[in-house]
Structure formats: structure tokens, C-alpha cells
Structure 1
Amino acid sequence: MKHLLPALLELFAGPECPAEQFSPDSSKVIGLSEVVVSANRTLETKRDIPQQIDVLTARRIRLQNPATIADALQNSGWVFVQKSQHGGGSPVMRGFEANKVLLVVDGVRLNNAIYRAGHLQNILSVDANALERVEILNGAGAVMYGSDALGGVISLYTKQPRLADSTGFAARTTNLLRYATAAREKTAHTDFSLGWKRWATFTSITATDFDDLRKGRHGIDAYPGFGEVKQYVERQNGKDVVVANDEVNRQKFTGYRQLDVVQKLLFQPKTGQRHLLNLQLSTTSDVPRFDRLQTYRNGALRYAEWDYGPQKRLFGSYQLELTRRRGLFDVLRLTPAVQAVEESRLVRDFGKDVRQENTEKVRVLSANLDLFKNIGRHELRYGAELTHNRVRSIGEGVNVVTGAVTPIVTRYPNGSTYATQGLYAAHRWEITDRLILSDGLRYSRVQVNAEFDPRFFDTQYRQVDQSSASLDGNVGLVALLPAGLRLSGLVATGFRNPNVDDINKTFEQNNGTLIVPNPGLKPERVVNYEVELSETVQDRLLVSLTGFYTTLRDALVVRPFTTPDGKTTTTYNGQTYATVATVNTGKARIRGVAARAQLALPAHLRLDGTLTYTQGRDRVADVPLDHISPLYGRAALTYQQAKLTAEGSVLFNGRKRVHEYSPSGEDNLPQATPVGALGWYTLNLRTSYQLTRSWAVQAGLENILDTNYRVFASGISGAGRNFFLAVRFER
């Protein structure tokens, strides 16, 4: 154990070793011997970690052939995913969603100052075709990651450049062309790596074009016409016109386009020293907000336009990695990074000539320092993290006829800042060969500053200066019992400081209320308890059952709100709204179970199953919490022999009755049936055949029964019967 982790780290980081060499093909190996990174920011075996971790490998993503990474997460059966539009995908983990789930790309956090509490689509800015692996760390992760990791951490690792071997030069390439029928999707992807003895590059480019998504035709007999799009709005001869949809199962205005680019440059002047430059760009066309475009008021369509403007993410990081035994560390990794994020909302009511355009630009500077030291049976990981967010918020009213532009209220105070600082230390002690203790501690500090424009806000909202600190820890124990049994337990705390979106947002909600700023918010805090029992027969069987219980204090929820001057209504953009705001509720709790099963069968078959059940409640108001997903899971049977891989699967969700919905409106009850979200399942078949050493063809039929279904809290129906065909060339 003394030299194992540093050696594995060199294997993982070293470009001469592809990911598949240290991460065995999940279709062949069953057990807990897989190596993961996210739990403690260094390589370690899943078996030694007391926290539940799921791993989505590049091989599994390849077989799924997903359109987006959100689809890959949903199809895994491990993560619940909500969608309000086709260009959406908001992961939910253990009853937490959006800004309570931390997204990390190549070791750098994506969550920024304006990640909201409702539903997010930011994970779509990471290209599934460029990924080497995804690690899903369930439960509070504050010690290693600080604020926001309440429900868990989704760590996405993009492919790495690879140095050449003794031949002096190596070139590799992967190319994909894909077409899918449900959204008439067209995807083209290429990536290539060039490697020399000291230098290597990696380039990835993916372009995708989605048309309007077709929903399923069958399965909701009790509510005929559910999800059908009978009308939509067009602009004709300078006027808004309601048009009858002659293809009611085609969800009008759901198509969009996306471009993703990754460029990496690696320099390794000598063994034990690596320099990596990592550049990423993701951008989209306008993305129509489908659920809003199908919103009716007084029996008529309310909006003529409701689009997210192009979602842009520009990411740049440099990483210095030193791997050698020293007094203070065996491995050091320093990662400064910069991100420029832009998003916008383009909204125009039916019959109106003025389009409200709200644009947000966020610049994020960050730096991570991570160190590892091995001392006998003890492993020490420690480091620091700094981030600084600056928000530029712009509001304009644009007359679509004359082109005249006038200022309107901004979504956030322009020039708001959000900054964090953190110091952490984590320790692992291999007490015996069968007993492993893990513990850690982190000190975090967060500052939020904002100044409101007096043209649009009363003086009570003029300025916010907030600062908070948090001390978080965890302790876990793993016992490796005889006969392949493993028992683990963990207690971990976490927190999420209110960000610019929580404190300062002004926004009209879909239920007709207006959310207004609340400068008096405090951080929400959790304590997570979990225990897992598993049985492993190496390369044959893995069965695990995880129980978790999370308590929340000062949980952030949306509730009716009385402003400091005693008002319960607010006039906004010429209309009067009932006022709501994000507030702290005293106590809440979430509990649930998660089961995993993998079984190797004769005749080259493998059976996989997942099941997750969650329940949550605000214990002060005695109402259900929002974002609590119904029972969900997946079962799959996979055949792999020689050149052929085939998988049949069923993906399913339980129902969510009306009385189980949160009163906050975040669960989108108006988008469900009169009795709530119905249970559903889809049958799916995917195949891959290796024609030659370089050429492969893949095909699949998803939602074979053409089921009409809508995922809980979603504003768009799932894809109907979807046939996809893909051709791959790799060398």
C-alpha cells in the first residue's frame, strides 16, 4: 500500500497509459477493485472508500451512444434527470438538484455565482464524446469540494493527450457520425491525439443539430392528448399568429444546435513533472424553453418568444503536476483556471413588440492546490482552493419592429461578486488489512457583494455585503469481512452558501408569482449519514444496498415573502405579482435507499440493476421538499462476444402523486397530469459491431413501445420511439 497510490497516479496521469488500462472494461470485471479519483482528488480503490460512488466509463458511454451527457446520466439509472426543454438536463442526487449538486470538470468546479436552485442545463456544456469517464460521488462532499456539494459531486474527466512510446511518435483518432430519428439529430465528432516523447496534443470537436423532438404516442389512455402540441405561435407579416400544429406529437420549438471543442497540450520534460494546458469551448444556438412556449393564460398562448440565448462556456486551465517523494508531499498538483460563462433569456409576450433580453456574463477565476503524502499505513491529502466570480448583468427591451432599445430591470445586480476560500485535510488509515478509517476537515469562507440599481429597486435593496464561514468534516469506516462481505459507514457534514442567484434574483416564476431578493439569507447545512452493505464475488457478482439519512438546517426554499416595508405583492414590468423569495426553513430531512447489482452469467451475458428511492420533508412547514424524485432505476442484460456487443434494458420511474409535490412550484405540477406524475418505463435495445480493426457500426432502438411519458418535474415529454445509427472510425 505504501507505494501503490503514487504509482497508480503516475499511471493515470501519464499519457502513455490509456484510461482503459487502469479502468477495466466494466462489461468484463465485476467488483470494487476499480480505481476512482473524485472522492479525495487522488487515485484510490472504490473498495476503500466509505462513500457511494458510481463510475460511467468511456466504454459504457460509447455503447449508450447518448446525444448529451445528461442523457448518458439518465440512461445509467444512477442519476435522476429533469428537463424543461430538449436542450436541458438537470441532475438530481439524493433529493438535491441544480446548485446543490456540484459539477466538476477536470478538477475545476463549474458551479458559479448564478447557478440557480430550480433546474439547470449547464451540464450540457460538457461533450459526452470527449469524456474519458464520469464519477458520481453521492452525498455531502464538503471536505474535498467546499460549498454546493450537498447531494453529491459529478466529476467529468475529458480525454488526455498521450505521449509516444519508444517509437518516438504516435497518432490516434476517433471519428463518429450519428443520426437519430426522434429529434432528427445529426452529430459529427472527431478527436485526435498526436504524441512525441515529451510533447502531446489532444483535439476534440463535436457539432450537433437537433430538430423538434417527437414524443411517444401510447401509454396515457386515462388522459388522452396529454403532452400534445396543438398550437404554436409564429410571426407572420409583422404580427404574432397562432398556428394549428398538424403533427401534434412533434414538440414544436425544441430544436437547437451545439458546438463543443476541447484542446489540450501536454509537456513532460522529465519523469515526475507534467505541464498540461486545457482549453474548452462550448456554445449553442438559441435554445427554446418549450414549457414556457406552451404556457396558456386565459385560454390563450402567453408567449410569442421564450428562448435561452446562446449558452457559452469558455474554459482555460493550466496544471502543474509533480510526482516524487519529498518531505511535504509525494504528489503535488496546482491548477489555476479561468472561465467565461454567458447565458441569456429572450422573452416576448404574444402580441407585444418589445422583447425582454436579460444577459448574464460571469467571469470565474480559481486556483486549486492538492497534495498527497504516504506515511506507512497513513495517507494524507491536503490543499487549498480559491475562487472569485464577477457577474455582469444586462437588461434591455428591444422593439422587434423598430429596433429601439431601452433599459429594463436586470436579473441580478450588475457587478455582483462571489468569492470563496477553503483549506482542507483528509486522512486515511489502514488500521489492518480489513479495517480502513477515513476522516477529513475543511474550513471555508464565502463573501457575496452586490449593489442594486436604484432605477429598478426600492432603497431597501440597495446593497448586500454578506460573509460566512463553515467548518466541515467527515469520518468513515470500511470493514472488509470474510466471504466477500463489505460493511461501510460514513458521517459527513456539508454546506451551501447563498450565492448571487439566491440572494439577489428578480424573476417571474411559471406559477405566476415573482421571486424577489432576500439579503437576509444564511447558509444551508446538512449532516449526511450513510451505511452500505455489499457482497462481492470477484468477476462474478456484486450486490450492494446503501441507506442514507440527511438532515438539513436553514434549508433554502422558496416561500411566500413579505418585503421589509410590509408588502406581499410587487409591481414588476407593469404587472402586479404575489411576492415570494428564497428563505431559510428551520429543519428538513431526506432519507432513502439505493441498490446496485451486477451479475456475470454464462454464455457471455451480464445482468445489471439499479434502484433508488428518496423521501424528503420540510419539518417546519410539514410539507414535502421540492426536487424529491420518485422511485427510479434501470435493469439491463448485456451480451458481449468477439465483435458484437448487444444490450437490452428497461428504464423506469415510479409515480408521484399530487399531495407529494412541494408547494414551492419548483416541481412543475402544472406540467403533470391532474393526478401528478405517472409511473412509466421504456424498453431499449443497443448494439455495436466491430466491422474491422478501425471501423464499427452501432444501432439502437430506444423506447421501443413508443411510450408517451414525462419525467417528474419536467416540462417536456420524453422522446418517442427513437432509432439511431452511428458509424465509428478509430485508429
Structure 2
Amino acid sequence: MISRTLTIVVVAAGANVTAVAQTPAPDSARVISLGEVIVSASRTPELRAAVPQQIEVLSARTIRLLNPATTADALQQSGWVYVQKSQLGGGSPVLRGFEANKVLLVVDGVRLNNAIFRGGHLQNVLGIDANVLGRIEVLSGAGAVPYGSDALGGVISVYTKPPLLADSGSTTPRVHTSNLLRYASAAHEKTLHTDVSLGWRRVASLTSVTVTDFDDLRKGNRDYRSYPGFGEKPFYVRRFGLRDSVLVNPDPNVQRDSGYGQMDVLQKLLFRPVAHQQHLLNLQYSTTTDVPRYDRLQALRNGLPRFAEWNYGPQRRLMASYQYQYTRPKRLFDALRLTPAVQRLDESRLVRDFRRDVRQENREQVRVLSANLDLNKSLGRHELRYGAEVTHNRVRSTGTGVNVRTGVQQDIATRYPNGATYATTGLYAAHRWQLTPALTLSDGLRLSTVRLRGDFDPRFFNTTATRIRQSSASLDGNLGLVAQLPAGFRASGLVATAFRNPNVDDASKTFEQNNGTLIIPNAGLKPERLRTAEVELSKTVENRLQVAITGFYTQLRNALVVQPFAAPDGGSTITFNGQTYTTVASTNTGRARIYGFSARALAEFGAGFSAQGSISYTKGRDLTRAVPLDHIPPLYGRGAVSYRRRSLTAEASVLFNGRKWVGEFSPSGEDNLDQATPVGSLGWYTLNLRTEYRLTPRWAVQAAVENILDQSYRQFASGISAPGRNVVLALRFDR
């Protein structure tokens, strides 16, 4: 039975739930994937074969071969996740037509989504170091039962490497180190990474440091035939003395003012006093230099640049979590995990109009306190998983106008109400019943509550709504069935509900959009509600072939969409920071629908050769307004042929996207039609080659050529062109 099998897996891993969750099993080239243990579906380890929901796993070995510069690049290069970029220091994952604050990011069991995760496009996934990843699990579809609010499109659950204890009979410490030196030509990326694990019988430590520097990104040289020069950067702005000047870019393929730098630090301390108890301290810190908002720096007004400066200030993420695990069976549970955490996120926007002296500096600081309790219990053919979650977000938002000529400062409108709070609670229970050896039933319920509080500064908001007060509750559930059919076939089905409560960003943000409109607060927002169904059919020929196709249909009520909204005085325009704007706001539309399919295939040919492929298609529409829904990517996918033999690993792959015509873009502005060609977003493909060769058991070299044909293209909804031909060279040392 599945529950007993899983118990054996956990015990065999040393009664260590974290070890199961964070240490990927040896990555065999054979096509055996349904027997692996996953965590993202119910927050506790379970066999993938019993899960009715679509889950893809990006293993440590696959990530190593992809050798991505960022975690966003790892997701995109997998072919399973669509990723939007507004700047080089960007990367906004899209799952089943949902993006940003409608996709939940989880790192080592702690949610990253916070009170100011916005609904447009996010770059927060970049704060997770791609060079210390142990595993990524991508759960597509509603994840409300285990995770609560925000998991509408799915959950991207990231697990970093664990500290490694010494063997029980060892008298010497266990030492493991992994080191990387990498260069990539498209942005002259230079990366230095080192991590060291020191392990004794009961105590282990992992220390990791990564430093990366990106120069300005070069796009491809082979333009679209119908739109030569699309994506070129003909100018850039520099300040000489007291005046901004427009300079000619000597190489328009180089996207000037896109480069940035980043540093990531991780420290883990593991203490296992006895086999069934474990304490883990997890400290993570990530910071960047200023990150230029490239799409804004291309904007023109009256034939001149709109902005002289538009930077995200240094984005810092600090997380400290403690995880206690107990795995000796008791009356109420077989395994228990408690994870309290504290996070602090600092971000800012530094904006100065062309030939204006005042730089508008909006700074946000979010402190997040959270705690998760997860338990599981096996009772014969039944397995119960249950737990609780609480979070509390507090937002500090300030606005300062700085005269770059005189240094004089003055208060300006804040992006959010200063001191706003956002708090959630949740109780969940999920049940799995092995009806027969071939049938597994899954069900679950979660009760969630959310509370939002904020007070507007009357100096900057001329409105009778001086504060925002929201409270909501939601009861969500799922029901799924998995059938192991004859001849290697497997069928599964799932129906589920989910919700997403408006956060501080949705309800109280003031922000200028690319299209010249101003988003203003809307205190009357309601939670988004979702109902979804999915079915999957797969076929497995052991050690040779696995194919699967998944279809889904989603109904969304009270969907949040940016659309025209009356200004505080009842008109349609407002003067803000000296400019006149048409006012818009996040509002609840009546109904929307999203549907689509994805297909995956893995094949093992023998003699070291294998192949894999994936394709995804999504369609979405706002039914109330009869217009396309935003954030819906075009057809996309990946195909690859791999070779692994002794010391050599090689892979040839193709990444591709279909086109999206102008009529398929949402009128909300979130799809960035102004950054596309006159007919919309054009299709593209890239050819790529990656290799790794082990010189010795400890030394390895990697080489890759991405976008071999040097295609010039820009992904749907993105504001920066993708890299041109990119030569990647890396040297690795592992011990």
C-alpha cells in the first residue's frame, strides 16, 4: 500500500523528512519518475504515483547541466514554465495563465509571497540562488488546501541543498564542497560560487556564497524579416554636469543600461541528537545592486526619453527559519514538522524624469512573521495529513523627492499606506485512501482567514476613503482519483477550489503604468475565487518510455483586472507628481475562464541516449467584458536529445514559443503591447547545445552555446529582448 511504502521510504532516509524533501535521489537516466518522493502536493513526503495533480520535478543534476544564471532561467529552460522579463534582472513565472501574486513561491517550506507581491510582473524569484538548488517542484493548478491564498496557478516549491551528516560509524567529519566559476558572453556574466558542507554524526553545517556580475545584455543579430531593427536600443541617457544628454548607442544590439550585480549567502546548521528528532536553522540573504528597469528606459515622450533614471534600488531578502522534525510514531501523528520563520524584504524604485532635477525615491520594507505546523498519520489504507499556518506582514512605505542638483529632500506620496498590515491564518486536512491496489482517492479541506488594514496619508490622497479595512474567510477543497490501469497506463482526475485575497499591493497601490495611466487604490476589492478540473492520462513502458497529456479547465470569479476607475473627485483623470494621468485600478471583473493542455514525453534509447519533450497551450478570456484575459502566454515548449556516457554528458535542445496577435492581448496593459511588434508577439525558436566533461572525479568543465542561430526575439509581455548567441564556459570542482 502507498502509505506503508512511503513510511518505509521515510525510515530508510534516516527518519528525516527534510532529507527526503531536500536530497534528490540519484538521478538515473532511466525513465522511472512516478516512484519518486515529492513534497509540494501536501507539504509532507508522498509518492508521486499517488498524486492526482500535475507535478514536474527539476532535479539537481538537470539544473547542473542547464547551468542557469538565475532561478528564473532554470524554470524557463526547463520548458515547463513560461517566464516574463521586464529587465535583465527579472523573471516572472507563469503557470496555467496565472502570474506574479497568483503563483505561490515556497523556499524550504516557507512562503515567499508577501503583502506587496504585485499582480503585474515580479522578479522576486531571482532572490533564490540557482547555484545552491537541490530540487524544484512545480505543482500546476490550485494549491489552496496545503498552501491557502495565492496558489491559483500553482506552486513553485524550491529546496536548497541540505547539510550532510557523517555516517553513523565514521570517526572523521564528512567534508563536501562544490565550486563554480562561470562566464557567459551575452551579458558578459561572471559568476563565482562556493559551498562547503561539514558534517559530524549529530551536527552538520552548510555555507554557500555566490557573487554574480552582469554587463549590458546583447540581443540576437538575426532580426525578424518583417521588422528589422525591432528591439534595438538606439540611444541612452547620461548626465554631464547639471544636464541630461541623449547619446547614440554605437551598438544598438547591446541593450544599454540593463546590467546589474547580485550576491547570495546561505547558512544552514543541522542538529540531530537522536534518529527521530532534528533541528535545522536556515539563514538566507540575497542582495542586488541597482537594477535598471529596462522597459521604462526605452519610453519616449515628445521624441525624447521619458526617463533619465528608472531603477529598482537594491532588492534585499533576509530569511531566518527554524525547522523542528519529529518522526517517531505517536497516537496523533507519525511525523511532525514545525517551521517558524521571519523574513525581511527591502525594495525601492528610483525614478527621475528626463531633464528634471527631482528623483522620486519610493522605498518599501516588509517584515513577515510566519509559522507552519505539518503532521501526517498512516492508518492502514488511509493516510491523513493536516496542519496549520499563520502569517503576519507589516509594510513600511516611504516616499522622498531628492533634488539631484541641490540635495534638498521633501516628502512625496508613498506607494502604499505606511504601516499597513496583512495577516492570514489557515487550518487544513488532506486524506488519501488506498481503495484498491489500483485506485487511490485523495481529498482535502482548508479553512483560511485574511485580514488587511491600512491608513492613507491625507497629505497625498485627496479622498474620503482614508483607510482600508478588509476581512475575509474561505473554505476550499479538492477531490482526486488516481487509477493504475493495465499495460502501464495511468489515469487521474482532480476537481478543486482556490482563492486569493487582495493584498496591500492590490488594494492600496499608487503607481504609474507604461501606458500613461495611474493605478490608484480601490478599497472595495473582493477575493478572487477559482474552480478547476484537470484530467491526465499517461503511459509508461518501464525503463524505456513515459508519455503524459494533461487537460484543465478553470473558472475564475471576481478576477482582479486593471481597468478604468474613477478618480477621488469622481473624474477620470488626476494630477500626480506634476503629471496628468487617466486613472485605473485593480477591480473585480465578473467571470473569467482559462483552459488548456500540456503534454510531456521521456524516452530512453539505450547506449546513453535519451530524449524528452514538452508543450503547453493556454487560452483565457474575461467573460464579463468579452475581452482576452491578461497573462496568458502563447504556445510554448521544449525538446531535447541527451547523451550520457562515462565522463561525458551532452544535450541538444530547442526552445520555442508561438505567436500572439494584437487581438489576443488584454486591454488592461499588463501584456505590454507597447513592447511588442505592431502585429503582436511573434513566434520564435532557439537551438542550444550543452556539454559537461569530467576531467577527474573532482574536476569538470562545462560548455554551452545557447541561441546558436543568434535569433533576435522578445518573449510575449516582456520588455527586454532575449539574449543573442550566448557562449557559456564553466569550471567546477567538487569534493
State the TM-score, normalizing by the size of structure 2.
Answer: 0.98
Q: What residue in structure 2 maps to residue 334 of structure 1?
A: 338
How far 1:280 moved relative to its partner? 0.2
Q: What residue in structure 1 maps to residue 36 of structure 2?
A: 34
Q: What residue in structure 2 maps to residue 167 of structure 1?
A: 170
CA distance, structure 2, for counterparts of residue 484 and residue 439 of structure 1: 25
Q: What residue in structure 2 maps to residue 573 of structure 1?
A: 577
CA distance, structure 2, for counterparts of residue 103 and residue 183 of structure 1: 27
In structure 2, give the amino acid aligned to 1:6. T
Q: What residue in structure 1 maps to residue 652 of structure 2?
A: 648
Q: What residue in structure 2 maps to residue 599 of structure 1?
A: 603
How far 1:295 moved relative to its partner? 0.6
In structure 2, give the amino acid aligned to 1:341. L
Q: Deviations over 1:57-78 (max 9, x none)?
A: 1100000000001001000000
SS of 2:162 mapped into structure 1: coil
Structure 1, unpaired ranges of 5+: none
**1:209 pairs with 2:213:** yes
Q: What residue in structure 2 maps to residue 5 of structure 1?
A: 6
How far 1:297 moved relative to its partner? 1.1
- Cα separation, partners in 2 of 1:21 and 1:493, compared to 1, 3 Å: closer
In structure 2, give the amino acid aligned to 1:259. M
Q: What residue in structure 1 maps to residue 99 of structure 2?
A: 97
Q: What residue in structure 2 maps to residue 147 of structure 1?
A: 149
CA distance, structure 2, for counterparts of residue 520 and residue 16 of structure 1: 42
How far 1:12 moved relative to its partner? 7.6
CA distance, structure 2, for counterparts of residue 19 and residue 522 of structure 1: 36
Q: What residue in structure 1 maps to residue 81 of structure 2?
A: 79
CA distance, structure 2, for counterparts of residue 19 and residue 574 of structure 1: 53
CA distance, structure 1, for counterparts of residue 160 and residue 237 of structure 2: 40
CA distance, structure 2, for counterparts of residue 438 and residue 163 of structure 1: 35
**1:549 pairs with 2:553:** yes
How far 1:22 moved relative to its partner? 5.4
**1:50 pairs with 2:52:** yes
Q: Indicate conservation of the 8 Å contact 2:131/2:210, yes or no.
A: yes
Q: Deviations over 1:80-113 (max 9, x none)?
A: 0000000000000000000000000000100000
How far 1:30 moved relative to its partner? 3.4
CA distance, structure 2, for counterparts of residue 411 and residue 66 of structure 1: 33
Which residue among 100, 112, 121 is the counterpart of 1:110?
Answer: 112
Q: Indicate conservation of the 8 Å contact 2:10/2:20, yes or no.
A: no
Q: What residue in structure 2 maps to residue 247 of structure 1?
A: 251
CA distance, structure 2, for counterparts of residue 19 and residue 447 of structure 1: 32
- Cα separation, partners in 2 of 1:81 and 1:626, compared to 1, 3 Å: same
Q: Deviations over 1:345-400 (max 9, x none)?
A: 00000000110000000000000000000000100000000000000001000111
**1:657 pairs with 2:661:** yes
CA distance, structure 2, for counterparts of residue 193 and residue 15 of structure 1: 19
How does 1:323-472 map onto structure 2 within 5 Å? 323-472=327-476
In structure 2, give the amino acid aligned to 1:106. D
Alignment RMSD: 1.3
CA distance, structure 1, for counterparts of residue 451 and residue 704 of structure 2: 49
- Cα separation, partners in 2 of 1:297 and 1:18, compared to 1, 3 Å: same
- Cα separation, partners in 2 of 1:26 and 1:657, compared to 1, 3 Å: farther
CA distance, structure 1, for counterparts of residue 491 and residue 246 of structure 2: 61
Q: Deviations over 1:560-579 (max 9, x none)?
A: 01246422111111221111
Q: Deviations over 1:216-262 (max 9, x none)?
A: 01040111110011001001122100000001100001110000001
Q: What residue in structure 2 maps to residue 299 of structure 1?
A: 303
How does 1:299-318 map onto structure 2 within 5 Å? 299-318=303-322
State the TM-score, normalizing by the size of structure 1.
Answer: 0.99
CA distance, structure 2, for counterparts of residue 13 and residue 37 of structure 1: 15
SS of 1:460 mapped into structure 2: coil
In structure 2, give the amino acid aligned to 1:185. E
In structure 1, give the amino acid aligned to 2:274. K
How far 1:26 moved relative to its partner? 5.1
In structure 2, give the amino acid aligned to 1:272. H
CA distance, structure 2, for counterparts of residue 90 and residue 599 of structure 1: 30
CA distance, structure 2, for counterparts of residue 20 and residue 376 of structure 1: 27
How far 1:703 moved relative to its partner? 0.2
Structure 2, unpaired ranges of 5+: none
Q: What residue in structure 2 maps to residue 507 of structure 1?
A: 511
- Cα separation, partners in 2 of 1:361 and 1:17, compared to 1, 3 Å: closer
Q: Indicate conservation of the 8 Å contact 1:18/1:162, yes or no.
A: no
- Cα separation, partners in 2 of 1:686 and 1:186, compared to 1, 3 Å: same
Q: Deviations over 1:541-560 (max 9, x none)?
A: 11000000000000000010
SS of 1:649 mapped into structure 2: strand
Which residue among 721, 728, 734 is the counterpart of 1:724?
Answer: 728
CA distance, structure 1, for counterparts of residue 286 and residue 506 of structure 2: 26
How far 1:157 moved relative to its partner? 0.3
- Cα separation, partners in 2 of 1:356 and 1:524, compared to 1, 3 Å: same
Q: Indicate conservation of the 8 Å contact 1:6/1:323, yes or no.
A: no
Q: Deviations over 1:590-615 (max 9, x none)?
A: 00000000011133111100000000
Q: What residue in structure 2 maps to residue 266 of structure 1?
A: 270
SS of 1:402 mapped into structure 2: coil
Q: Indicate conservation of the 8 Å contact 1:24/1:34, yes or no.
A: no
**1:538 pairs with 2:542:** yes
CA distance, structure 2, for counterparts of residue 295 and residue 26 of structure 1: 49
How far 1:274 moved relative to its partner? 0.2
SS of 1:269 mapped into structure 2: coil
- Cα separation, partners in 2 of 1:563 and 1:352, compared to 1, 3 Å: closer
Which residue among 631, 635, 659 is the counterpart of 1:631?
Answer: 635
Q: Indicate conservation of the 8 Å contact 2:6/2:47, yes or no.
A: no
Which residue among 125, 136, 149 is the counterpart of 1:134?
Answer: 136
How far 1:17 moved relative to its partner? 6.5
Q: What residue in structure 2 maps to residue 61 of structure 1?
A: 63
Q: Indicate conservation of the 8 Å contact 1:132/1:159, yes or no.
A: yes
SS of 2:94 mapped into structure 1: strand
Q: Indicate conservation of the 8 Å contact 1:31/1:536, yes or no.
A: no
How far 1:21 moved relative to its partner? 7.3
CA distance, structure 1, for counterparts of residue 732 and residue 548 of structure 2: 35
SS of 1:714 mapped into structure 2: coil
Q: Identity, % of aligned pairs? A: 66
CA distance, structure 1, for counterparts of residue 14 and residue 43 of structure 2: 12
In structure 2, give the amino acid aligned to 1:379. E
Q: What residue in structure 2 maps to residue 498 of structure 1?
A: 502
